[in-house]
Chains A and B, each alone.
Chain A
Amino acid sequence: MSRQTHTDNKSRIPKNSLLFEKIVPALLILMGVVTLGLMVFAAGVLLGFVHF
């Protein structure tokens, strides 16, 4: 008797999950905006526009 094994080693994000459908995208957008804001702020300090 022969046996064939197929392994899918990439687990999937669950469907209809509040965490992955709502919270994760919101967090990604929020952190992206905050990061951009911090980078603009740091660049302002570097260029002398912001006295810090």
Chain B
Amino acid sequence: MSINQILPFISTAIMLGFTVYVFQRYVVRRNLAFLYWGIGLAMFGAGSFAEAYLALAWNKWVFLVWYLFGAALNAAWLGHGTLNLLVKKSWVHVVTLVLVVGSLFATYLMLQAMPKLDTAVFTTDKPISEQYGTKALDDGEAAPAGAQTITTTYRGEEVTAVRGLLPLGTTVRLTTPFFNIYGLFTLVGGAIWSAYLFWRKRIMPNRVIANILIAAGALAIGFASTLTRLGYGQYLYFGELLSAVLMFIGFRYAARPQPDEAVTQETIPASAD
């Protein structure tokens, strides 16, 4: 096995431990933020495992898990946990309802797309994130070297496209940016905002650093995914591992008791008795 095939399994193991840790915190604290984070982390772990599996072999249900949990939903659920700490609970409940309905709808759309998968295009030579989508080529745009192309009718026009597992116009793909923009805004934006609030008040330095680590971890996977779409897929697995490690350290650091808690004790002289 190459290093790029081993890294996703390491990421999966880290995310598994991370998920168990966060769900344990939910059981103890009964704070819904931990529940939403736990759901998002479980999705991240499932997506990471699916990615590792698909680097070795094909299975359409593993692909469903990868796309739905790894590419579409996990960032939104992670960010939703952060939102739970920052806004009024009544707002969170409304957004939770929207997120649950949206997630179920995305699942329905993904199930609808399953019979249409172009599985002949699958190869273990490339990360799944480089081959899941069919991409229409612009006029004069050349297909990447080695790519399989197809000429088809799309929105009433004849187009040439680089073949991918999900055909052109698959509806579930339209839902993914909504989840990811929401996830990016709430997870990274929320962590940056929290870090700023603690920093401005000059308190809890561990929370400042922890939130920066969480934001950096979330940005790491965002960058790695973007690079993959731009044709630099070799950084994806390292980006996922870095993301898992940074966010795990961030969460643990945020929960760490402060060693320098200022405890002052004043001994009041004995009263005259």
Q: Which of B175-198 contact A (CB under 8 A)?
A: 177-178, 180-181, 184-185, 188-189, 192, 195-196, 198
Contact (Cβ within 8 A) A35 B184: yes
Contact indicator per residue, chain A 9-33, by CB within 8 Å of chain B (1) or not (0):
1111110000010001101100110
Give the distance in Å from the alpha carbon of A51 to the alpha carbon of B196 in the complex: 34
How many residues of B are in contact with the other chain, CB < 8 A?
41
A14 to B260 alpha-carbon distance, docked (Å): 11
CA distance A25 to B258 in the complex (A): 22
Given contacts A35-B188, A38-B184, contact A24 B177 (CB under 8 A): no
Chain A interface size, under 10 / 10 to 19 / 20 to 34 / 35 or more: 20 to 34
Which residues from A are CB-within-8-Å of B268? 1-4
**Residue from A1, A14, A31, A38 within 8 A of B205 (CB atoms):** A14
Q: Does B219 make an interface contact (CB < 8 A)?
A: yes
Q: What does DSSP make chain B's interface, helix, strand, loop or mixed?
A: helix
Residue numbers in B under 8 Å from A51 (CB-CB): 138
User: Hey, which chain B residues are within 8 Å of A2, CB to CB?
Assistant: 268, 270-271
Closest B residue by C-beta to A1: B270
Listed A/B pairs (25) with beta-carbon separation below 8 Å: A2-B268, A2-B270, A3-B268, A5-B263, A7-B261, A7-B262, A8-B261, A8-B264, A10-B204, A11-B205, A12-B203, A12-B262, A13-B208, A20-B199, A24-B195, A24-B199, A27-B216, A28-B192, A28-B195, A31-B215, A31-B216, A35-B189, A39-B184, A41-B226, A51-B138
Which residues of B pack against A, CB within 8 Å? 138, 177-178, 180-181, 184-185, 188-189, 192, 195-196, 198-199, 202-206, 208-209, 212, 215-216, 219, 222, 226, 229, 258, 260-271
